[in-house]
């Protein structure tokens, strides 16, 4: 154990405390980061549940809803463990990224079942999963006394083809070739992993007498349930009401609470035993050790949850970074961008805190609501708590940053708080939020930059797609009209953005440092041009303010190439402070 590890053990991050009613404990097991939701010991049931998360965008959308399910299960007396698969979320990366990840993930299910049994003493375990997580649960059926399969991926091949289509839509024209496997919306699968998933077909699944609850979102999944029933299985098939609403964007999607209630009722029917003798054993440290770093989960402020990433060598620079949520996504970011960036910064001697704002991810909302608004909710209490935590750990120069809405909140936090020395904002499209503005897909600017549209007019492929009806011309014209209106309004000076620009000038005057990082084809470039002129000249002309335009940087960093580029920009920015 290094000197830093020894020093941080007693004071940097307190270990989880013994369970209280429906407590949530951070745990770590075999490289996985997880959350253990424990019931009141007097109400504990003999059965526990392991929740297998989906992958990619599905996982980001489902993160908060699955937390709600775990909390509801714990309130019903059922100890529940949810965790991040290796290579995702807050868990460690793969040792061999190009190898087949499927057996690694299946071994992770085994490790999760063992961790739940060891830490809670439950006598029976039910594997529950959503989308590909349900597929992993089904493939691990021999580990469980029962299965809850919520909209499982029945056949791997068609699912992968859908992901690859998403890749073609997302990729900027300058991104070049993607990986040999799949690189889609934050999910990277090696060629070997894609080949293994292609071979999955749950139509060969056998229930072998285990009770099984199947929530079917389409006829193909319902047929799977019918086949299991005909095979003599103890199978309950229910419709997945609320499936589409669950997989809306994570800032506004809805948990299928009625289905979750059916899950709890089904568990009570098939696993009615009560056993209050088990005792939850908390982790001493719940730490993970990625290359060059030490990571510890932390709960601070008004129940905010996150991860502190320390440099391993015990020689911090005095700099510390706060990494903010991207929209409504959990703290790890799309494709684990925040996790990877935190670990890269640790190798440069920079401490960081990635955490969920109140009402997002793992952090409950301050007002008891299910979630908070990604723009309208004040983040001042969250930043206050984060800065106090980092300063208590010795941070002397604090930098805040994020992607899209995360960058927006980072910038506005720096405008309000002189303790913040620097800001980086990646693809931030909004300078000032107007209360009541819609977040619906058709109402927000998600097109390419105006410059990119103009450049494409000279490409033969553009006109070919236009003639084939492959371009949504009305949507593009609507986007360009809104941008023109924004530019004209900016010239009048009587806008909320004008007040923000004045405060940015004040931030520069007091020595603040801001780096805007924007994709060459991203609409954030239009925000810069609208309010600061071509090339952001009225922005970069102020001391401490800089703009980096990066070719091939997609908006949310959905592609690995974009995450790599943005990560390098962030590390370079921190090294220059």
Note the pLDDT tens digit of each residue in 218-268.
Answer: 998 999 988 887 666 789 999 999 999 999 999 999 999 999 999 999 999
Assign 129 to helix, strand or coil: strand
Which pLDDT score, from 0 to 100, does residue 20 have?
38
Tokens of 320: 């510390």
**CATH 3.40.50.1820 placement within the chain:** 20-155+200-270, 293-447+495-575
Tell which residue, 227, 210, 221, 191, has the closest CA to residue 96: 191
Secondary structure letter of residue 155 according to DSSP: B
Average pLDDT over residues 360-364: 97
Taking 70 as the threshold, does the pLDDT of residue 395 lie above it?
A: yes
Q: Own/partner pairs for 476-484, CB < 8 Å, 24+ apart?
A: 476/447, 479/445, 479/447, 479/523, 480/450, 480/453, 482/445, 483/445, 483/450, 483/523, 483/526, 483/530
Note the pLDDT tens digit of each residue in 80-108.
Answer: 999 999 999 999 999 998 999 999 999 99
Q: Would residue 451 be called left, alpha or beta, if left means φ above 0 and alpha means ψ between -120 and 50 degrees?
A: alpha
Average pLDDT over residues 533-560: 95
**CATH class of the domain at 20-155+200-270:** alpha beta
Average pLDDT over residues 167-191: 71
Phi, psi of 312 (to 5 degrees): -75, -30
Which residues, in sequence order, are CB contacts of 106 under 8 Å at separation 6+? 136, 139, 140
Q: Own/partner pairs for 153-156, CB < 8 Å, 24+ apart?
A: 153/200, 153/202, 154/201, 154/202, 154/203, 154/220, 154/221, 154/224, 155/200, 155/201, 155/202, 155/203, 156/196, 156/197, 156/198, 156/199, 156/200, 156/201
Which pLDDT score, from 0 to 100, does residue 14 have?
41
User: How confident is residue 556, by pLDDT bands cut at 50, 70 and 90?
Assistant: very high
Note the pLDDT tens digit of each residue in 404-463.
Answer: 999 999 999 999 999 999 999 999 999 999 888 867 655 455 565 556 555 555 555 655
Average pLDDT over residues 206-227: 89
Average pLDDT over residues 142-154: 97
Q: Is 466 in contact with 457 (CB distance < 8 Å)?
A: no
Which pLDDT score, from 0 to 100, does residue 225 have?
87
Assign 83 to helix, strand or coil: strand
Assign 475 to helix, strand or coil: helix
User: How confident is residue 8, by pLDDT bands cut at 50, 70 and 90?
Assistant: very low
Q: Please give the C-alpha separations between residue 241 and each of 2, 176, 248, 255, in angstroms, as whole numbers.
A: 51, 40, 14, 10
Note the pLDDT tens digit of each residue in 323-348.
Answer: 999 999 999 999 999 999 999 999 99
Taking 50 as the threshold, does the pLDDT of residue 13 lie above it?
A: no
Q: Please give the C-alpha separations between residue 465 and each of 153, 341, 530, in angstroms, as whole numbers.
A: 32, 37, 29
Note the pLDDT tens digit of each residue in 466-525.
Answer: 565 655 666 656 665 665 656 666 666 668 899 999 999 999 999 999 999 999 999 999
* 49 or 453, which is more confident: 49
CA distance 457 to 93: 42
Which pLDDT score, from 0 to 100, does residue 174 have?
47
CA distance 428 to 80: 37
User: How confident is residue 17, by pLDDT bands cut at 50, 70 and 90?
Assistant: very low
Assign 304 to helix, strand or coil: strand
Which pLDDT score, from 0 to 100, does residue 164 have?
83
CA distance 418 to 87: 37
CA distance 393 to 442: 44
Reported as type and span, the H/E element at residue 293 is strand 293-300
Beta bridge partners, 201, equal: 155
Q: Is 500 in contact with 494 (CB distance < 8 Å)?
A: no
Which pLDDT score, from 0 to 100, does residue 163 have?
87
* 33 or 181, which is more confident: 33
Taking 50 as the threshold, does the pLDDT of residue 137 lie above it?
A: yes
Q: Which of 5-9, 36-40, 138-142 has the lowest mean pLDDT?
A: 5-9
Which residues, in sequence order, are CB contacts of 309 under 8 Å at separation 6+? 293, 294, 295, 342, 343, 345, 346, 351, 352, 353, 354
Taking 60 as the threshold, does the pLDDT of residue 21 lie above it?
A: no
Q: What is the CATH number of domain 293-447+495-575?
A: 3.40.50.1820
High-pLDDT (> 90) share of the chain, %: 71
Question: Could you count the other beta carbons within 10 Å of the beta carbon of residue 378?
Answer: 14
Query: Judging by beta carbons within 10 Å of its beta carbon (0-12, 13-18, 19+), is residue 196 exposed, middle or buried?
Result: middle
Which pLDDT score, from 0 to 100, does residue 55 have?
98
Which pLDDT score, from 0 to 100, does residue 310 have?
95
- Supply the angle between the helices 102-120 and 132-139 in degrees, to the nearest 10: 80
Q: Say whether pTM exceeds 0.85.
A: yes
Which pLDDT score, from 0 to 100, does residue 43 have?
85
User: How confident is residue 172, by pLDDT bands cut at 50, 70 and 90?
Assistant: low
Average per-residue pLDDT for the chain: 87
Tokens of 296: 């510890």
Tokens of 300: 């601070």
Note the pLDDT tens digit of each residue in 271-293.
Answer: 998 775 555 666 556 899 999 99
High-pLDDT (> 70) share of the chain, %: 81
- What's the length of the chain? 577
């Amino acid at each position: 154990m290094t000197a830093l590890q020894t020093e941080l053990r007693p004071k940097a991050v307190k270990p989880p405390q013994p369970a209280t009613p429906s407590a949530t404990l951070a745990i770590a097991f075999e490289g996985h980061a997880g959350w253990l939701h424990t019931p009141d010991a007097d109400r504990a049931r003999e059965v526990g549940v392991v929740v297998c998360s989906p992958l990619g965008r599905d996982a980001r959308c489902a993160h908060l809803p699955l937390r709600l399910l775990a909390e509801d299960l714990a309130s019903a007396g059922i100890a529940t463990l949810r965790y991040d698969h290796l290579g995702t979320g807050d868990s460690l990366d793969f040792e061999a990224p190009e190898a087949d990840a499927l057996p690694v993930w299946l071994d992770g299910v085994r490790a999760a079942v063992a961790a739940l049994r060891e830490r809670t003493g439950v006598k029976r375990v039910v594997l529950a999963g959503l989308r590909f997580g349900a597929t992993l649960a089904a493939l691990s059926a021999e580990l469980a006394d029962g299965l809850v399969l919520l909209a499982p991926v029945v056949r791997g091949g068609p699912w992968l083809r859908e992901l690859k289509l998403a890749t073609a839509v997302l990729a900027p024209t300058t991104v070049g070739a993607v990986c040999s496997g799949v690189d889609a919306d934050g999910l990277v699968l090696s060629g070997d992993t894609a080949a293994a998933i292609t071979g999955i077909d749950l139509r060969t699944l056998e229930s072998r007498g285990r009770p099984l609850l199947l929530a079917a979102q389409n006829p193909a999944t319902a047929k799977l349930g019918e086949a299991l029933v005909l095979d003599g299985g103890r199978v309950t098939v229910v419709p997945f009401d609320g499936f589409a609403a669950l997989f809306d964007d994570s800032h506004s999607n809805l948990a299928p609470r009625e289905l979750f209630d059916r899950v709890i009722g089904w568990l009570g029917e098939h696993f009615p035993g009560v056993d209050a003798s088990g005792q939850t054993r908390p982790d001493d440290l719940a730490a993970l050790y990625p290359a060059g770093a030490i990571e510890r989960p932390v709960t601070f402020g008004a129940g905010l949850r996150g991860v502190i990433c320390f440099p391993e060598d015990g020689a911090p620079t005095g700099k510390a970074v706060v990494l903010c949520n991207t929209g409504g996504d959990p703290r790890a970011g799309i494709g684990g961008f925040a996790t990877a960036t935190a670990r890269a910064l640790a190798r440069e001697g920079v401490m960081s805190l990635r955490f969920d704002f109140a009402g997002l991810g793992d952090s409950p909302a301050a007002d008891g609501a299910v979630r908070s608004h990604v723009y309208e909710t004040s983040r001042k209490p969250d930043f206050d708590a984060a800065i106090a935590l980092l300063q208590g750990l010795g941070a002397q120069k604090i930098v805040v940053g994020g992607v899209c809405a995360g960058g927006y909140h980072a910038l506005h936090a720096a405008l309000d708080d002189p303790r913040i020395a620097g800001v980086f904002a990646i693809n931030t499209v909004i300078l000032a939020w107007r209360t009541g503005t819609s977040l619906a897909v058709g109402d927000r600017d998600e097109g390419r930059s105006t410059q990119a549209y103009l450049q494409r007019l000279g490409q033969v492929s553009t006109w070919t797609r236009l003639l084939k009806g492959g371009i949504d011309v009305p949507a593009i014209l609507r986007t360009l009209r809104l941008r023109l209106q924004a530019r004209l309004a900016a010239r009048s000076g009587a806008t909320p953005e004008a007040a923000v620009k004045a405060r940015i000038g004040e931030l520069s005057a007091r020595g603040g440092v801001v780096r805007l990082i924007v994709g060459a084809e991203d609409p954030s470039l239009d925000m810069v041009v609208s309010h600061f002129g071509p090339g952001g000249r009225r922005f970069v002309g102020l001391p401490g303010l800089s703009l980096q335009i990066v070719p091939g940087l997609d908006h949310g960093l959905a592609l690995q190439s974009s995450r790599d580029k943005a990560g390098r920009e962030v590390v370079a920015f921190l090294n220059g402070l």
